[in-house]
Amino acid sequence: MGQTNATAWRGFVFLGFSGFGELQLLLFALFFSLYLVTLTSNVFIIVVIRLDSHLHTPMYLFLSFLSFSETCYTLGIIPKMLSSLVMGGQAISYEGCAAQMFFSASWACTNCFLLAVMGFDRYVAICAPLHYASRMDPPFCARLVGTSFLSGYLFGLGMTLVIFHLPFCGSHEIQHFFCDTPPVLSLACGDTGPSELGILILSLLVLLVSFSFITVSYAYILAAILRIPSTEGRKKAFSTCASHLTVVIIHYGCASFMYLRPKASYSLERDQLIAVTYTVVTPLLNPIVYSLRNRAVQTALRSAFRGRLLGAG
């Protein structure tokens, strides 16, 4: 990271919710409650999938890693945001801001790749059910998960380097509640055009590659479902994909709006609302929309609660 950065300014201050006045405590109570539910639900899903042998399948393996990724993503952003709501504008060091951007971008990119892997899993399950066990064997699943995490880290590192090689010699006030790429980039001095282009290209690669993979998978899935003769069979096949599709639409909708647009269209209030959606609300959808609507997971959860109650008794 450049010498200008090291000498001109060594930190930033978050001003994301400073204009909400007395509403900040109400927002704190709301976000803290959502965060506790998100954290508890995702951790519980990971534990249940790990302990229940009936859920030791590729689909639930990928789901557990998605829950893990979402948990890490929220841990890097929401505690600092909650602190800002209670104590006002919170300072963060230059290095801390770079680290937060790296980890948040890495986990966000990893989520995209894991959702693509989950789409591929549904494709194999529906379009080639007789070969599902042989194609989605443990070594292959491990490679898919490892590739998702490695790709996420590399893209996160690329985005962070594109931003933090610039000098920051003006305002140190970030009009946001975490070190996201658009608000931090707006504080950089000099010509930010190449960096904006770099962020756009990296975002396009992550979102378009992973979303294209999902789109192709679901095109084959749809064709296979339409060939099923019975209405009940088509409904059953589609129900295994409905929750995944819901998460995909919300996740990619928010991410595309935030990162695939020109700098001139940024809006503080609107962008913070969108950011709250994908940092607070979207991670909650994983256990609720995807998992808790799944009968196998519901059965495992009931068994876990029943075992806990019997153990307590």
CATH of the domain at 190: 1.20.1070.10
Region 138-152: mean pLDDT is 95
Establish if 61 belongs to a structural domain. Answer: yes
Establish if 3 belongs to a structural domain. Answer: no
The pLDDT, as a whole number, for residue 185 is: 87
Q: Give the best-scoring range by mean pLDDT among 17-21, 171-175, 182-186, 289-293.
A: 182-186
Residues of the domain holding 48: 11-304
Q: Give the best-scoring range by mean pLDDT among 11-20, 146-155, 207-216, 231-240.
A: 146-155
Establish if 156 belongs to a structural domain. Answer: yes
Establish if 78 belongs to a structural domain. Answer: yes
Establish if 50 belongs to a structural domain. Answer: yes
CA 80/CA 14 separation, integer angstroms: 9
How would residue 153 be classed by pLDDT, with cut points 50, 70 and 90? very high
Listed in sequence order, the DSSP H helices in the chain are 3-8, 23-51, 58-75, 78-87, 94-127, 132-135, 138-164, 181-185, 193-226, 231-259, 268-276, 282-285, 295-312
Is the pLDDT reported for residue 113 higher than 70?
A: yes
The pLDDT, as a whole number, for residue 89 is: 64
How many domains would you assign to the chain?
1
Q: Model pTM?
A: 0.85
Establish if 270 belongs to a structural domain. Answer: yes
How far are the Cα atoms of 177, 209, 257 from residue 158, in angstroms, in the given order?
22, 16, 20
Establish if 167 belongs to a structural domain. Answer: yes
Establish if 313 belongs to a structural domain. Answer: no
How would residue 2 be classed by pLDDT, with cut points 50, 70 and 90? very low
